[in-house]
Structure 1
Amino acid sequence: MSTTTEAIALSSAAKTKSKKSPLRRMGPPILAVLVLLVVWQLICVIFQIPYYIIPTPVEVAGAFVEKLPSLTTNMWPTAFEALLGFLVGNSVAVLLAVLFVHWRAAEEALMPVAVFIQTIPIVAIAPVLVLMLGTGYAPKVVIAALISFFPTLVNMVKGLKAVDREHLELFRLLSASRSETFWKLRVFASVPFLFSSLRITATTSVIGAIVAEWIGAQEGLGYLIIQATYNFDTPFLYATMIMASLVAVVFFTIITVLERLIVTWTPDSKM
C-alpha cells in the first residue's frame, strides 16, 4: 500500500514539475535578453555613441511607443503579404511533393528547376517581379511564396517517402488501394516533416515580404525601414525591425501551437 502511495506521490510531483518546466525554460532566455539590453545601454552611455549610429534600448523603446500607430498601420500590409505568400508557397510545394512521389519522371525533371530558382537571391528576383507585376500586393506575395516554397517541397518529399517498408508491405497484403496507402500511410508519416518546414517558412515569409517592399512600396514595414534609413532615424529603424520580428514570432507561435494540437504522435523517422 505504501509503495502505491509513493508511486502516486511521485507521479503527482512529476506532473507538477512538467507544469513548471515551460516557465523554467523561459527564464534563462528572458534573463539573457535583459542582460544584453543592460550591456547595450551601458556601452552606448559609457562610450557616448551617437544615437544615429547605435541608439540605446531606451531610445528604441521611446521610438517604438511614439511611432506605434504608424508601426501598427504598416504592419498589416506586411503581415497580409507574408501570410498569403506563406499559404500559396506551401500549398504549391505540397502539391508538387505529392506529384513527385507518385511520378518519378516529374521529380527528375522539376526538382533541378526548383533548386535553381532557390539559388537565385531574392533581392535579385524582387526588381524583376516588380517590373512584371507592378508595385501592388502581387510581387510581395510572389516573393513570400518563393521563399516559402523550397523548404516545404524538400521536407514534404522526404516525409512522403519516409514510410517503413514493413508498413508498405502490410498495406499491399491487405490489398489497399494507392489512394488508401497515400492518405492513411504516407500523409500520416509526412505531417511531422511538414510542420518542421512550416516553422521555418512562417518566419522567412515575413522576410520575403519586407525585401519586396524595399524595391517598390508605399506602405509596409519594409517601406518604413527604407524611410527610416534615408532619414537617419536609427531608433525608428530599430523599432521597425522589432515590429517585424514580432510579426514573425506570432506566425511561428501559431504554427507551433497547431503542431502540438495535430501531431500527437512521435514520428518514426527523424529529420
Structure 2
Amino acid sequence: MIRLIPLRSYKPGYRSWIAIWIILLLLLWEGIAWILHASMSPQQASSRLPYLHDVVMALFRHAGTLAEQGSVTFGNAAIGFAGGTLLGLALALLMSIAVWLERTLSPYVISSQMVPVIGLAPIVYGIIHNAEWARIVMAAYVTFFPIIIHTLKGLKSTAPEHLELMRSCGASLPAKYIKCLLPSALPGLFSGMKIAAPLAVTSSIVVELMGAPDGLGVLMVSSLYYGNAQVGMFWATIMLSMGIGLISYLVISLAERWLTPWQPEFRTKRGGAA
C-alpha cells in the first residue's frame, strides 16, 4: 500500500524562503540594471545602478583594500556596540529596581535619542578630534537605547508566580536577578542587540564620512569623487557594509539560540527540528 505524505511536509522552510528572496532580489537588480543600460548611455546607467556582476568583480578586485578598511570600521563598531550594550544593560537593571528610578531616568534616556546621528556625528567628531574614539562613541550611542527598551521590557515580563516564589524563599536581591529576572530579560536583550548591531556599523560609517582618515566611509567618499571610474568600488563598499551588518545580526541570532533555548521558536518540535 502506497503511503501518501501530507502536503505540508513539502512546504519550504524558513531558510528556503530566505534563499528564494535573495535570488529574486539579485535577479531584480540585474533586470533593472539591464533596462537602464538599454535605455541610456553606459556611463549614465552605471552611475544609477551598475550590473551586479560588475560589483562582484569589484569586490574581488579590491578585496585587500576592502578587507583592510572594513576591519577598521567593524572593529570600532564592535567596541562601541559592546560598550553600549553594557551601558544599556546596566541602566535597564537600575531602572527596574524601583519605579521612581525608571521615571527619573526615562526622560533623559528618551531625550538623548532626539538628536539624529547625521547631526550628532560631526559634533562628537569635532569635540573628540579622534576618528577612532568618535566612531566608538557613536556606535555606543545608537546601541544603548534599544538595549534599555527591550531589556527593561523583558525584566517586566517575568512571571509573577516566579517572583512570588523567590520572595517566599527569602531570596536576596542579587539572587532574584540572577536566578529569575535576568533569564526572563535575555530574549529582550538579544532583540535589542539584533536591532543595534547593524546601526552600530552604520553610525561608524557616518563618522567616517565626516573626514576620518580610514574606514569604509572614506572609500565611499573617494569613490564618489572619481565618479564612473570607481562606481564599482562605491557599490562594493555598500555591499560590504551591508554584509558586515548582516553577519553581526546572524552571530547574535546564533548566540540567542544557544543561550535561550527555552524560547518557543527554538524548541524542537515533535516529529522534526524547529
- Mapped partners of 1:164, 1:192: distance in 2: 14
- 1:47 maps to 39
- 1:257 maps to 254
Deviates more, 1:224-233 or 1:186-195: 224-233
Q: Structure 2 matches for 1:165-176, cutoff 5 A?
A: 165-176=160-171
- Which sections of structure 2, spanning at least 5 residues, go unmatched? 265-274
1:44 CA drift (Å): 2.5
Q: Structure 2 matches for 1:103-252, cutoff 5 A?
A: 103-232=98-227, 233-252=230-249
CA contact (8 A) 1:145 1:205 kept: yes
- 1:3 maps to none
The percent of aligned pairs where both chains have the same amino acid is 26
Q: Give the TM-score taking structure 1 as reference length.
A: 0.87
1:17 CA drift (Å): 7.5
RMSD across aligned positions (CA)? 2.3
Secondary structure of the corresponding residue to residue 209 of structure 1: helix
Are the structure 2 counterparts of residues 38 and 134 from structure 1 closer, same or farther at C-alpha, using a change threshold of 3 Å?
same
1:253 CA drift (Å): 1.2
- Which sections of structure 1, spanning at least 5 residues, go unmatched? 1-5
CA contact (8 A) 1:93 1:150 kept: yes
Secondary structure of the corresponding residue to residue 163 of structure 1: coil
CA contact (8 A) 1:79 1:247 kept: yes
CA contact (8 A) 1:53 1:234 kept: no
CA contact (8 A) 1:92 1:149 kept: yes
Is 1:36 equivalent to 2:28 in the alignment?
yes
Secondary structure of the corresponding residue to residue 109 of structure 1: helix
Q: Give the TM-score taking structure 2 as reference length.
A: 0.86
CA contact (8 A) 1:228 1:236 kept: yes
- 1:102 maps to 97
- 2:53 maps to 58
CA contact (8 A) 1:85 1:145 kept: yes
- Mapped partners of 2:152, 2:15: distance in 1: 36
CA contact (8 A) 1:40 1:57 kept: no
Are the structure 2 counterparts of residues 180 and 127 from structure 1 closer, same or farther at C-alpha, using a change threshold of 3 Å?
same
Secondary structure of the corresponding residue to residue 90 of structure 2: helix
Are the structure 2 counterparts of residues 253 and 23 from structure 1 closer, same or farther at C-alpha, using a change threshold of 3 Å?
closer
1:23 CA drift (Å): 4.7
Q: Which amino acid aligns with 1:213?
A: E
